[in-house]
Amino acid sequence: MGMIGQHLLNGLMQGTIYGLVAMGFTIFFGVMNVIKFSHGDVLTLGAFGGLVAAWATHALGLPVGIQLIAVFAAAMLLSAVVGAGISHFLIMPLRNAPPLNMLLMTMMVGTLIREAIRLFFPNGTNPQRFPELLPSGGFNLGNVFVRNDGLILMVAGIASIAVVHWIINRTRFGLAMRAVAEDVETARTMGINYARVIPLTFALGSITAGFAGTIYGLYYSEINYGMGLLLAVIGFSAAIVGGLGNIWGAIIGGYLFAGLQTFVVAAIPSMSDYKNVFAFVLVIVLITWRPTGLLAERGSERV
């Protein structure tokens, strides 16, 4: 029982990261009908930006709390700037082009980011050790060992999901996003600045990627230039399973995918190396059974 609880706890942590990534995908698609395949590489870039901030603040001898704030701030700011830049300079000019053009463009941008990290970051080909900035150790909850850093990061991840949901549903910017998602022309006639809303939307979605990348680095203590590839595929799959364009669907999809991985590891430990294979097979079955996703038909609005 204790082992099952431990796996469930690990699954919740992974599900939080996947949910954040999937939420970015669904924001992009919900507003612009864009599948941004560079999303995972923006996540990686944000994590490396956070790593540089950690090195700089450590060299200056700043307190650990300040280092931690700097890591998250640098990761999210870098991701936001890159996401908004991709939107303004590449996606907006292609908004009337065939969807395949935009898909290929985002894939190429992702490859460009990934290769730039590998070639130009110091020792970028090899995994980079992420500093331990959170309290180590933990406590036992019954038979389950709860890591202090894992608990803090999971709470932070869930809180960030709640903040994004609040921004989308309770702010004027979120109202503008939802109006553009419903009907661009009507939104324009209502006075919504379309050219401003789209880059800010991409900045918001990219911030979730930078946040997820930093959580990943702090939890697993290691990042590498290619980590965004698999996270992007999983995040996109989670968004599809939940219902692309539906925020809650993306979050549920993230936790569901992590739950499938956890189930394989817990039920068939000898096959744990194949947890992604089993999870993707079940995702294929789910998509075949319900192509629109679990919540797409129930959602009353996109994004």
Contact 103, 37 (CB under 8 A): yes
Question: How large is the average pLDDT for residues 104-123?
Answer: 95
β pairing state of 222-223 and 128-129: antiparallel
Question: Residue 300: which pLDDT band, with cuts at 50, 70 and 90?
Answer: very low
**Residue carrying the six token digits 């020792």:** 123
Contact 25, 234 (CB under 8 A): no
pLDDT in tens, 58-70: 999 999 999 999 9
pLDDT in tens, 149-193: 999 999 999 999 999 999 999 999 999 999 998 888 888 888 888
Domain range annotation of the chain: 1-135+148-289
pLDDT at 82: 97
d(CA 150, CA 162): 18
Check whether 27 has a pLDDT greater than 70: yes
- CATH tag for 1-135+148-289 (out of 1.10.1740, 3.30.110, 1.10.3470, 3.40.50): 1.10.3470
pLDDT in tens, 201-215: 999 999 999 999 999
> What's the pTM?
0.92
d(CA 260, CA 269): 13
